[in-house]
Amino acid sequence: MLAIEDLHVWYGSSHVIQGLSLTVPAGGAVALLGRNGAGKTTTLRAIMGLVARRGGRVRLDGRGLESLPPHRIARAGIAYVPESRGIFPSLSVLENLTVAARGTGWSLERVFETFPSLTERRDHGGGALSGGEQQMLAIARALMTNARLLILDEPTEGLAPLVVGEIETLLAGLKETGLGILLVEQNLAFATALADTVHVLGKGRIRWRGDGTELAGVPEITRDWLGV
Amino acid sequence: MLLDPTFLAIQFLNGLQLASLLFLLAVGLSVVFGLMGFINLAHGTLYMIGAYIGLSVARSTGSFWLALVAAPVAVALLGMVFHVVLLRHMQAASPMKQVLVTFGLIFVGLDSVRYIWGNYSHGIDLPAVLAGGVSVLGETYPIYRLFIIGLGLAVLAALHWGLERTRLGALVRAGVDDRETAAALGIDVGLAFFAVFCLGCALAGLAGVVAAPVLSVYPGMDMSVLILTLIVVVIGGPGSLKGAALGALVIGMAQTFGQVLVPALASVMIYAVMAAVLLARPGGLVRARHG
């Protein structure tokens, strides 16, 4: 579904992503792990066209996205949930859900069925939600774009274990429906539970790839590149 | 005489009328400055061109009402061309370049107007309904000035409704809150802001026609309001509808009452008000929401 080949990103003169390649198969879940500053967020931002200078190829179902502006990349079928959640504070919960809604599949009814806590808060301002609710809203808002691939930047960051569990169940359910997922995480247990393939990113390059069980068998990789 | 209630009421209405005009002008400038980060000094030129187009339409058709509709539409179209041909390419440029280019456009506008309409002052005749006066506390007050106040309030209400209740409004608020996230969700923020820019140009054109019967139409009429409008934007807080309205009210009143109460200090009055506001609130009266 998503194929990244030889991705490079520069911030000024520093070469932060140095030839990264990865694929997310249709309906598959892929996690990108790494320390702070490894380039995880930068990789996601580069996919969405949000970095100034990049090289390499990014394709979604064979269609090249490199030369498109961010809104066209999103419209090609990718929904992005940023690290900060990016909830629009001056929009109500309902407006947050509908402002970028398009396509069919995920409707307001289905979203409110899946996220009952948002139903009660539909007329609240986006800024009035708790961290967990904001994360749910950010995911629900992304689903309303009816994308084929969901990109999430540290969805569990700063959330209580109970909420992390809820998000895990939710994303596992979404994966079952055939939605592709690309996820950046620091939470190893969460990432390995959800993802079919795990990529370990360090200093702008993929240092290791495999599944969760294999990762448990290579302590030197976790020690050198994840610091756990 | 100065504290006579009738006199004060009349001056208050004059202040509101000026505030109304300044609001129509400032809202477009404020939005372009606050949302798109662009300093468009030629915004006043759009106002002047609106007045001239209104003049031509009113003279050739005999209808002030038609002029009131045609001028904003024509100025919005002109703004659209102006944006596509020039502004769009200047967005990434430094503020100094933007200021220089749009400052140059002021002179291009001035000479174009002189070339097309001549170097004279013109007036626009009012339709009979707006031409008379009404009694305000025993004094006769021109209906047309009340019309300007009403129009300003109606535009404020319509813009507020549009921003809070329509889809375009939600797109614009999302773009202002967090431009990157909005784009990453498939929203064409540039297009939404472009629509707002065109609306701002239309309102500048509207201000031009509306001002024409009161202030008359002449080459350079833009310069006298440009400074006031810039002050309104700065003290109101760029990028905020509420700020433009509040700033226009403050400057409209300061200018009007300054001239009648302390004529000797009238010319420094608005600058003193601006300095006081900026000392207390450097970002302006209303902070626009920014992601």
Model ipTM value: 0.92
> At residue A202, does pLDDT exceed 60?
yes
Nearest to B166 by CA among B134, B192, B133: B192
For all residues of chain A together, what is the average pLDDT? 92
The CA-CA-CA angle for residues B46, B52, B54, to 5°, reads 100
Contact list in B for residue A48 (CB cut-off 8 A) is: 184
Residue contact B181–A91, C-beta within 8 A? no
| CA-to-CA dists, residue B131 to A23, A92, B64, B128, B147, angstroms | 73, 45, 11, 5, 10
Helix runs in A99-199, H state only: 108-114, 116-120, 131-143, 161-176, 188-194
Q: What is the pLDDT of residue B156?
A: 97
In a domain, A61, yes or no: no
Q: Is B244 on the interface with A (CB under 8 A)?
A: no
Contact list in A for residue B186 (CB cut-off 8 A) is: 71, 74-75, 100, 102, 145
Confidence grade of residue B1 (pLDDT, cut at 50, 70, 90): low
Residue contact A82–B177, C-beta within 8 A? no
Shortest Cα distance from B111 to chain A (angstroms)? 39
pLDDT tens digits, residue range A24-44?
999 899 999 998 888 999 999
Distance between CA atoms of residues A40 and A31, nearest Å: 10
Facing B187 at nearest CB: one of A79, A100, A142 = A100
Q: Is B181 on the interface with A (CB under 8 A)?
A: yes
Give percent of chain A above pLDDT 90.
Answer: 78
**Best residue in A87, A98, A99 to probe B by mutation, most B CBs within 10 Å?**
A99
Q: Looking at A49-53, A68-72, B3-7, B98-102, which range is the least confident one?
A: B3-7
Facing A100 at nearest CB: one of B186, B289, B291 = B186
DSSP code string of B220-275: THHHHHHHHHHHHHHHH-TT-HHHHHHHHHHHHHHHHHHHHH-GGGHHHHHHHHHH
Distance between CA atoms of residues B232 and B152, nearest Å: 15
Domain count along chain A: 1
Nearest to A38 by CA among A198, A201, A183: A201
In a domain, A4, yes or no: no
Distance between CA atoms of residues A183 and A83, nearest Å: 11
**Which residues fall within 8 angstroms of residue B22, CB to CB, at 6 or more apart?**
B225, B228, B229, B232, B247, B248, B251, B252
User: Mean pLDDT over residues A130-144, rounded?
Assistant: 94
User: Mean pLDDT over residues B111-138, rounded?
Assistant: 91
Q: What is the pLDDT of residue B291?
A: 34
Shortest Cα distance from A92 to chain B (angstroms)? 9
In a domain, A154, yes or no: yes
Confidence grade of residue A54 (pLDDT, cut at 50, 70, 90): confident
3-state DSSP helix/strand/coil percent for chain B, to nearest 5? Answer: 80, 5, 20
In a domain, A88, yes or no: yes
In a domain, A152, yes or no: yes
User: Mean pLDDT over residues B162-181, rounded?
Assistant: 92
Contact list in A for residue B178 (CB cut-off 8 A) is: 86, 88
Contact (CB, 8 A) for B187 and A96:
no
> At residue B266, does pLDDT exceed 90?
no
Facing A80 at nearest CB: one of B185, B188, B289 = B185
Residue contact B182–A50, C-beta within 8 A? no
Confidence grade of residue B60 (pLDDT, cut at 50, 70, 90): very high
Contact (CB, 8 A) for B231 and B252:
no
Shortest Cα distance from A80 to chain B (angstroms)? 6
Distance between CA atoms of residues B53 and B65, nearest Å: 13
Contact list in B for residue A86 (CB cut-off 8 A) is: 178, 180-181, 184, 291
H/E element, A22? strand A14-24
**Other Cβ atoms within 10 Å of A161 Cβ, number:** 8
Instruction: Give the rounded distance of the alpha carbon of B129 from its chain centre.
Output: 25
Residue contact A80–B171, C-beta within 8 A? no
pLDDT tens digits, residue range A148-172?
999 999 999 999 999 999 999 999 9
Distance between CA atoms of residues B91 and B244, nearest Å: 22
Structural domains present in chain B = 10-123+137-280 (1.10.3470)
**Residue A194 domain boundaries:** 25-52+69-226
**Which residues fall within 8 angstroms of residue B92, CB to CB, at 6 or more apart?**
none
Q: What are the tokens at B81?
A: 């061309």
Beta-bridged to residue A55, according to DSSP, are A8
Q: What is the CATH number of the domain that holds A100?
A: 3.40.50.300
Distance between CA atoms of residues A33 and A226, nearest Å: 7
Confidence grade of residue B161 (pLDDT, cut at 50, 70, 90): very high
In a domain, A59, yes or no: no
Q: What is the pLDDT of residue B288?
A: 66
Distance between CA atoms of residues B24 and B229, nearest Å: 9
Q: Please give, one letter per residue, the 3-state secondary structure of A68-89.
A: CCHHHHHHCCEEEECCCCCCCC
Facing A71 at nearest CB: one of B178, B186, B289 = B186
Confidence grade of residue A127 (pLDDT, cut at 50, 70, 90): confident
* Residue matched to tokens 């007050």: B141
Report how many Cβ contacts below 8 Å link chain A to chain B. Answer: 71
Distance between CA atoms of residues A64 and B269, nearest Å: 60
Residue contact B174–A91, C-beta within 8 A? yes
Shortest Cα distance from B163 to chain A (angstroms)? 11
Nearest to B34 by CA among B243, B205, B181, B224: B243
The CA-CA-CA angle for residues B280, B281, B282, to 5°, reads 115
Confidence grade of residue A133 (pLDDT, cut at 50, 70, 90): very high
Q: What are the tokens at B10?
A: 């009349």
In a domain, A13, yes or no: no
> At residue B260, does pLDDT exceed 50?
yes
* Residue matched to tokens 């009143």: B253
> At residue B160, does pLDDT exceed 60?
yes
